[in-house]
Amino acid sequence: MFARTATAAVAAAALMGAGALLMSTTDTQTTGRDTATTGHANTGTGIQTVSARTADTKPGAPVVYAHRGASAYAPENTLAAVDKADALGFDWVENDVQLTKDGVLVVIHDTGLKRTTDVEEVFPDRAPWAVKDFTAAEIARLDAGSWFGPQFAGTRVPTLQQYLDRIERNHQKLLLEIKSPETYPGIEKETLRVLHQKGWLDRNHVKNRLVIQSFGADSVKKVHQQRPDVTTGFLGTPAVADLPSYAAFTDQINPSYTSISADYVSAVHALKGAHGKKLRVNTWTVNDAATAAKVAGFGVDGIITNTPDVVREATG
């Protein structure tokens, strides 16, 4: 599931500049846009790509979500992965948020820092290196790119604020996962506070560019209670008999592709979610063409993938 290198030399070359941009946690540089090709920033690489935003797609094709950014081609949950998804022409990116020891939201998947940073070298005496045990300033010191490839050396773990700035600059949309909410009391309120602070809870963002999801049903309920206007998703595969209770507080049922069938998708679609619209199904994590075509045949509304280009080719 975690690709360690880019699949092509061109992809690696295109990301060299992106990796260099991300060395500082205060990076707010805005690069030029090539509106004749993508309409979006190419992060200073000089590589031009034709955007899927303007390409013909099959009617009814599933929406493609770049999982942790285009994480097959750049280190997951970093700004480099966001920029790579943008360069490939994808609007929707998925990320994970957690809270630091001093209450700052950072974008990282694992509850530990070991797999995707050099925390063992920087803080050798701080095992087990849990995100919750480090301050934001300490996490900002870590290299979150070298594990993936040398061209990403020095890439940082972004804060949610930095992440929102980047996807706003790229005109992208966000599928935000609240990670391990049981570990972080109050994370829902803090997530909504930061989203509001950065302008992501205005009508346009809420209606068109934001979904908040979690594996924790209680967490999804809290988001729905605090901001009933926000679209929410539950990560998992509830029993068909239980779906009506989930429909009371969520708009999406987002299961693993290994757990679904056409009948299950139909059962979800038969219900209306919290906003009175048909419950949607976004399935994860599909990284090959055959599986993408299979789940598209089930009628899913979206596919979450590390390889968005592969899924787009197979389904759109």
Catalytic residue among 67, 171, 224, 269: 67
| Over residues 74-97, mean pLDDT | 98
Closest CA to 282 of 52, 72, 64: 64
Question: 40 catalytic, yes or no?
Answer: no
Q: What CA–CA distance (Å, rounded) separates 81 from 70?
A: 5
Q: How far apart are CA 99 and CA 119, in angstroms?
A: 17
Q: What is the pTM of this model?
A: 0.84
**Would you say residue 177 has pLDDT above 80?**
yes
Is residue 54 very low, low, confident or very high in pLDDT (cuts 50, 70, 90)? very low
Give tens-digit pLDDT for 5-19.
333 333 333 333 333
Whether residue 56 has pLDDT greater than 80: no
Place of tokens 């009508």: 203
Percent share of the chain, pLDDT over 70: 82
Q: Which of 40, 109, 205, 224 is the catalytic position?
A: 109
Question: Can 67 be counted among the known catalytic residues?
Answer: yes
- Residue pair 211/279 in contact (Cβ under 8 Å)? The answer is no
The upper half-sphere exposure of residue 41, i.e. CA atoms within 13 Å in the direction of its Cβ, equals 21
- Please give the helix or strand (H or E) that residue 196 lies within, else none: helix 187-197
The answer to whether the beta carbons of residues 68 and 80 sit under 8 Å apart is no
